[in-house]
Structure 1
């Protein structure tokens, strides 16, 4: 019986492996299934065990592939001794951890913490900031080999995990070797796991999740035993490590979750002999092990993240002032002062860092699309600080001059903003902005009109983000939205520059979506503040506490927002439809003097084979379903069970890790396909056994009670065809790996002919001329 997490339930053979012994309680699964006519219930769980060749062959092969994995991942790991591609990010983050300096990243902390741990092990102090690709590690005394060793270790261990997954699923040795070889000799897996990058941790944890669930599923006959709990909890912890490394780890949860849902659906069948109380116990155990435990383990890494990063750093700008006040030496909290009415202030957009700016030039009469403007004075976002960024903050109702001192501006106040240089007041009205016809134009008008018939149009509300009622409005520490009082739009800007008439500056307009986080501004300084002003007297400020969950939720919002904002084009970005066919790669590093380069590219032989096999699998399933509809049973029960359950589970993993990328709008690269590629390797190994292994067929008899009885014919399993296929496939894949070695390891350098010879699909390689 196959131990596939996507199991088709059926009657087991009389001879059972230790892992499938019947449990206690309501009787063994075999007894229950025999009572139910050995019904086949289609599901998507995990693989199943069948007779396998010598255990010795599997064990020796496991040792061999593990040794080869370490050789291929660690060979020449010190080359190049320069910063490569995204090492500028993840090496930098490790340095920030070691210096306890707060930073911001769109990925969860687990993988980055492992790099910091490795740096701590070797005594690195985090002095190097990995600023530029090509910076020398040797000159800057960085223990980069230790950093690279951590992902190389993860990548090396992924290979035996793949082998063990196939072995535990009951596959023959040739099938195990084919699946493992596709990962072992894949240039993309090797290239991504030899550098300071997160994907090695992600893929290792993903493969470990699948292996642990297979082991857990094999113990379904002895539920709630110690081993059953062990593998259930290990599955949950492994899945937590996946999502704690990158949020795409949720796809692993989808894979395991779908298998668990189908398994529970099967358990709910009254013919299985479980009472509702027993079923509830199964449901609660899986909820605890696969949802609650992973979630708290995931939260734990954020707690570690916050505990380590207690000093102010480059990540401050992404967080609210309240969060920043939890960091020591924070510039915002140290330089923050109260803002009073009649102060001259400088406003700056939080996201684009543009200053609120105006100048005497007017909007054109007509825009390029034919729309008519107000021809009012331009209000723009300007990248540099000058006097045209100065605004006086005024109360809605003028105050006598002798009463204008020490009047603090507070959260919720209605104010006016007067442009100092042109002596005009900020205004918004129901006229379309230059770039956004749905948004309101911002302009300024003369003081006489502002105090007369257009008074209401110059009124704005100060709404401090997460502010309390009557909270003081402060420089630097007070992110706020400026809401136009009559129309309730928020002042907003974006990076698309205005045409020449606007000097390529940013458009300022009124955004009707006031909840949008990009509506936030802050007051950078008060140029009119005198040195003798008592507000300049600073007292030592204590770091303020903030509940963990509030910090966590704020960071989550910022991470998701900025992750979704990664929509700009990149010269090496690619679309999901290109990945299975390996149409293009990514240039990681080049060295002109020696003509060396690292070009991230998979092994074309292996990728094209596994992609073809995925299509073959779909075709086999479709053909089987069609023939069954016409009364033709082309497959015996055991073969169909393995095909639908075990191979189907691996195919589910591929689908869950690939298809969702079509729904994403952010930048995507070839490395996003690596988890799906690993799943496709498992499918390929399984299909090799299906196509090339010849097993004794089962015979079907009708018992005295009129029910079907299945019996296996005696005879050995023939693996000759599978071994021939294994040798051919591994030979071709190893040859493809060796041919592209210079691009994977960055050595040796290639002449023009060598580079051109490797441009199989027009890969944009360097030094081709």
Structure 2
């Protein structure tokens, strides 16, 4: 009897140990599978592939400390720079031109392996997310294997890109949400584990938003759960107001404060590393540029006088230079366009002259008169000789404001060429010898001023919007009525200043720029650049695609040259994963509609467990897919296949839920058959189309059998 009891206890202990080990063993196995296919022949292509031309080059800017501008936050690119540092990359001459061969001394394999580690690291969060959301064991394995064998994830994971880094932090954020859901269900809120995972959530949110702004979508998903959770607690009479307030404070501290700090710190590090002048200077304020080593802003006389030649930069959220050219508006006044322009150009140069009403002209007796607060001035465009002008004609983008143009010359006299200088503020350097500079005079770099139209009473302003193609998509300049002294769209400063009759002050060191002002302006410059990425109807972009073509697999994307002598990669989703998940999200939408109709008719019989499973296993993954997919359906910017993988990641969970809902509760034979078919289709489609992510070489005719749809252009 004692021996029997001992044997029973031993079996029980063995089962317990097996249950404890199983998730860790499964995680390891799936991670190794993912690692094999992501690292397999990772160095086969010895050329710069697709967007390695952008992101590997951005990484090299950190190695060279040169300032650059991009549409994405800096964390992902700083991680790429870390991979280049690990690889020992120190070649300032190599420009990472798309399709060019990597020099022998560039260890691009190490750089790619570093990136692949993020793609591999997506697997553990995928497994534990499915487990913590209480999917059935077979569904957990299916979801994890779908993520491990997803062709688009593998392809993107082989190269130096941001996509795998973004997907990793998206996965960790969703995993954190799943864990918080589980802890809520187990009534473990305010436990040590709960606090830990709230902090991890904040770190993940901060990181995902610091790689790409696409990270905001999973942040919104987390936010929807927080809103639902706090709303439930608000009506829970068992929770005191003190405890409810504590819930708010913890969420603000972990889900708002921590992400913001991480995001801001990434930019602080970004600014600190990039201390040399570079191609991105024009996206920053004048004071920021002046701090850069080798700055293009030259020393100049300290007083701007009538007759001085200047460039004028907006201090609004889109910090560009006042610009004009010979092109004319296609409607309205039909006069020369006035814009803001983000690059250094001769058409940015203006000359301060006396106002029309003044009557004075520039001569030896007037060429040393400073431009002071309250002075009436005329700004003459140096290249065209035309005057900065406004009139009661609606602007071309912001119709509520007046158009600003360049009009006439020195001979054509129009009082609407006149502007009144209004000095807003003066910034003084640490050098006390400049503390007594005349505060009523415009000084380059340090004076913020406004230009008020002498006749209309409106202010010269940069709206931050862009003209259409007829305006070369340059920034819109208007004359707007603004009584708000803090309206920075009407604020300007002189950047470069030339006057051969004045003495250049070589000793002036401008004051340091304010980090948070630079932080805000660079982010708005990123937004403006992002909005500028619109399709050009006059050009055919063979890589671009439409949103509906991703879940239908209507198109894939060539990631390299596709001649027979090239090694070729074709970015497209796994057929089972993509078509299956597309069917799943549509089916789930109809299922939700069916539940809503039954709820309205009061015929829905749903207990708490069923509702919880529907919400956590179905609704939140569906919302994750929708939040990552819908914006690309609505936005006007150019889109590509690589924009879909984050949405696909969530869609795979919806597919797992719909399979589980269909066969998970059936008899063993039906259930196992259903899962076997799912696993079989996944493995078959993965292996059949493996050359898409492993690489294709030789004649294209050898791969004709892979052309499942006639639109696949490989």
Q: Given the two structures, how large is their TM-score scaled by the length of structure 2?
A: 0.81
- Relative distance call for 1:188 and 1:293 in structure 2 (3 A) is same
- Relative distance call for 1:494 and 1:208 in structure 2 (3 A) is closer
Match of 1:166 in 2: 130
Report SS of the residue matched to 2:121.
helix
Q: CA deviation at 1:427?
A: 4.7
Match of 1:259 in 2: 225
Match of 2:686 in 1: 737
Residue 354 of structure 2 corresponds to residue 394 of structure 1: yes
Equivalenced residues, count? 667
Q: CA deviation at 1:162?
A: 0.8
Q: Which has the higher contact order (CA 8 A, sep 6+)?
A: 1
Within a 5 Å distance, the mapping from 1:267-346 to structure 2 comes to 267-271=233-237, 273-334=238-299, 338-343=303-308
Q: CA deviation at 1:572?
A: 2.9
Instruction: Answer with 741-750 or 291-300: which moved more.
Output: 741-750
Q: CA deviation at 1:748?
A: 2.8
Q: CA deviation at 1:229?
A: 1.1
Q: Do the aligned partners of 1:411 and 1:473 also contact (CA within 8 Å) in 2?
A: no
Partners of 1:116 and 1:679 lie apart in 2 by: 29
Match of 1:458 in 2: 417
- Relative distance call for 1:227 and 1:342 in structure 2 (3 A) is closer
Q: CA deviation at 1:70?
A: 0.3
Residue 654 of structure 2 corresponds to residue 683 of structure 1: yes
- Relative distance call for 1:513 and 1:174 in structure 2 (3 A) is farther
Q: Do the aligned partners of 1:358 and 1:389 also contact (CA within 8 Å) in 2?
A: no
Partners of 2:231 and 2:309 lie apart in 1 by: 68
Q: CA deviation at 1:379?
A: 7.0
Q: Do the aligned partners of 1:151 and 1:193 also contact (CA within 8 Å) in 2?
A: yes
- Relative distance call for 1:158 and 1:404 in structure 2 (3 A) is same
Match of 1:80 in 2: 45
Instruction: Answer with 509-518 or 75-84: which moved more.
Output: 509-518
Q: CA deviation at 1:111?
A: 1.1
Q: 2:371 pairs with 405, 409, 427, which one?
A: 409
Match of 1:751 in 2: 700
Q: Do the aligned partners of 1:498 and 1:506 also contact (CA within 8 Å) in 2?
A: no
Q: CA deviation at 1:212?
A: 2.0
Match of 2:545 in 1: 574
Q: 1:67 pairs with 32, 54, 64, which one?
A: 32
- Relative distance call for 1:339 and 1:70 in structure 2 (3 A) is same
Partners of 1:212 and 1:255 lie apart in 2 by: 12
Partners of 2:601 and 2:40 lie apart in 1 by: 56
Residue 180 of structure 2 corresponds to residue 180 of structure 1: no
Q: CA deviation at 1:424?
A: 7.2
User: What are the superposed Cα offsets for residues 409-434 of structure 1, whole Å, 9 maximum, x if unpaired?
Assistant: 35664212457899876654446799
Within a 5 Å distance, the mapping from 1:586-605 to structure 2 comes to 586-590=557-561, 592-605=563-576
Partners of 2:404 and 2:606 lie apart in 1 by: 70
Q: CA deviation at 1:520?
A: 7.3
How large is the Cα RMSD of the aligned pairs? 4.1
- Relative distance call for 1:412 and 1:282 in structure 2 (3 A) is same
Match of 1:706 in 2: none
Within a 5 Å distance, the mapping from 1:41-190 to structure 2 comes to 57-125=22-90, 127-128=92-93, 130-139=95-104, 141-190=105-154
Structure 1's unaligned 5+ residue stretches are 1-50, 696-717
Q: Do the aligned partners of 1:435 and 1:507 also contact (CA within 8 Å) in 2?
A: no
Q: Do the aligned partners of 1:91 and 1:196 also contact (CA within 8 Å) in 2?
A: yes
Structure 2's unaligned 5+ residue stretches are 1-15, 428-438
Q: CA deviation at 1:495?
A: 6.6
- Relative distance call for 1:639 and 1:347 in structure 2 (3 A) is closer
- Relative distance call for 1:746 and 1:264 in structure 2 (3 A) is same
User: What are the superposed Cα offsets for residues 377-411 of structure 1, whole Å, 9 maximum, x if unpaired?
Assistant: x6788999889988573355244745224223356
Q: Which has the larger radius of gyration?
A: 1
Partners of 1:355 and 1:270 lie apart in 2 by: 60
Within a 5 Å distance, the mapping from 1:353-502 to structure 2 comes to 356-357=324-325, 393-395=353-355, 397-399=358-360, 401-410=363-372, 413-417=375-379, 427-430=389-392, 440=403, 442=405, 444-445=407-408, 447=410, 450=413, 454=414, 456-461=415-420, 470-474=440-444, 484-487=453-456, 488=458, 490=460
- Relative distance call for 1:246 and 1:399 in structure 2 (3 A) is same
